[in-house]
Amino acid sequence: MARRILDANDRMAARNRQKFAASEVFVLNVMSSPGSGKTTTLIRTIEQLKARGVRCAVIVGDICTSNDADRLAATKVPSVQINTDQFGGDCHLGAHVIREALTGLDLDALDLLIVENVGNLVCPAEFDIGEHARVVVFSVTEGEDKPIKYPLMFRVCDAVLLNKVDLLHDLDYDVALAEQNVHAVHPEMPVLRLSATTGEGFEAWLAWLRERVAAGG
Amino acid sequence: MARRILDANDRMAARNRQKFAASEVFVLNVMSSPGSGKTTTLIRTIEQLKARGVRCAVIVGDICTSNDADRLAATKVPSVQINTDQFGGDCHLGAHVIREALTGLDLDALDLLIVENVGNLVCPAEFDIGEHARVVVFSVTEGEDKPIKYPLMFRVCDAVLLNKVDLLHDLDYDVALAEQNVHAVHPEMPVLRLSATTGEGFEAWLAWLRERVAAGG
């Protein structure tokens, strides 16, 4: 049963990918634990990309509430909120849910579509949505061992955004150990240290993302 | 299919509950996001309960690694590590997995069995394991809105441990708003503010737990 669901998801993901290619839009899937700072990171990311002429939109997945979409509305880019409680309280965004959300967006008018997934380090890693790149936001308040405890998430992603580095001075946190744990499950994956609150580290992250967007899907 | 899985789980949970009753052991299910501080909270909780003569044991669920069980070993209480990657990388502990773990424990020699669930604010809330009480560890670094974004978890729990309050001075965090959000989904649920790092707030939490254990399952 689980296999059949994943096969059906993969077929829909492939269809999504064709649709993204036809519109030449790059799609980024952003995943993390609840409370790691995805929305704050995306607000700052979108504001800075928009200022540099990158046309963005965002799909926001949550089980309940439109809190994140309401916050992202401040960026004034097109946004679509998905509440998975209509789909049984799903703990991830499936390719078919993304497909439905696309009807609310003009893909031809976009360079970059960002998907903010449901806060969960486990299940979203199993579902391809047709995206071109995946990043995991990993906050320093979560401890250094998450990559080895949730290896699939760190294995399927293309970069780690090590967030909340502004709090490091207050924590007993070993950044080198966190990076070592990332590389134990995904050798050489970039670990970009940043703070969505202060903006520290955003230049390197935006450079990484813009390079990917420029290279295409 | 999901319904059948949940029905089978409920039947096994009922069997677990009978077994716990026969041994007069109280079972606490501890859930949270990854990195909210469950293990640190449990180490301090167990050390203090042990010093007061409460006979404890712990079952620790993770997808991978024995890191948490290794840390809990310092308390010298019996512990059983479950790695769900043997069960397809399950994102929660099911009642049948708990059943298997019980074979490694002498329930008659215990007052309290603590289950540290997989770090996930979504799926574990759906699975009864036969426990008598449930708590969710919710750290102040996760933002105030998690109760309304993950309402099922906060609805099924009996108390919230609002952890990492030692970091409040460094955060723009509104404790009253967090409590309001908890009570929006679960009116009058106790919200116990504490810091597993400094020990602040542990007296109230231990008093709450000991009262439940004394009252029985």
Query: Tokens 């401040």, residue?
Result: A74
The chain B residues in contact with chain A (CB within 8 A) are 1-2, 33-36, 62-65, 67, 88-89, 91, 118-123, 139, 141-143, 145-146, 148-152, 164, 167, 170-171
| Predicted local distance difference test score (pLDDT) of residue B217 | 67
What percentage of chain A has pLDDT greater than the value 70? 98
A91: nearest CA partner in chain B: B122
- At A50-104, the pLDDT tens digits run 999 999 999 999 999 999 999 999 999 999 999 988 877 889 999 999 999 999 9
CA B174 to each of CA A73, B33, B138, B151, B179: distance values in angstroms, whole numbers, following the listed order:
22, 19, 14, 19, 9
| Predicted local distance difference test score (pLDDT) of residue B131 | 98
Query: Closest partner residue to B142 among A2, A34, A62, by Cβ?
Result: A34
Residue B100 Ramachandran class (φ > 0 left, ψ -120 to 50 alpha, else beta): alpha
| Contact indicator for A166, A202 with CB cutoff of 8 Å | no
Q: Give the number of other CB atoms < 10 A from CB of residue A156.
A: 17
Per-residue pLDDT of chain B (217 residues; tens, 9 = 90+): 566 777 899 999 999 999 999 999 999 999 999 999 999 999 999 999 999 999 999 999 999 999 999 999 999 999 999 998 887 788 999 999 999 999 999 999 999 999 999 999 999 999 999 999 999 999 999 999 999 999 999 999 999 999 999 999 989 999 999 999 999 999 999 999 999 999 999 999 999 999 999 998 6
Confidence (pTM) = 0.92
| Predicted local distance difference test score (pLDDT) of residue A217 | 67
Does the ipTM surpass 0.85?
Answer: yes
Could you write out the three-class secondary structure of chain A? Answer: CHHHHHHHHHHHHHHHHHHHHHCCCEEEEEEECCCCCHHHHHHHHHHHHHHCCCCEEEEEEECCCCHHHHHHHHHCCCEEEEEHHHHCCCCCCCHHHHHHHHCCCCHHHCCEEEEECCCCCCHHHHCCCCCCEEEEEEEHHHCCCHHHHCHHHHHHCCEEEEECHHHHHHCCCCHHHHHHHHHHHCCCCCEEECCCCCCCCHHHHHHHHHHHHHHCC
Structure token digits, residue A130: 């047709």
Q: State the average pLDDT over residues A137-160.
A: 97
| Predicted local distance difference test score (pLDDT) of residue A86 | 80
| Predicted local distance difference test score (pLDDT) of residue A201 | 98
| Predicted local distance difference test score (pLDDT) of residue A85 | 84
Q: State the average pLDDT over residues A124-150.
A: 96
Positive/negative CA dihedral, A51, A54, A57, A63 = negative
From A69, A65, A68, select the one nearest A37 (Cα to Cα): A68
| Predicted local distance difference test score (pLDDT) of residue A2 | 63
Q: Give the number of other CB atoms < 10 A from CB of residue A200.
A: 13
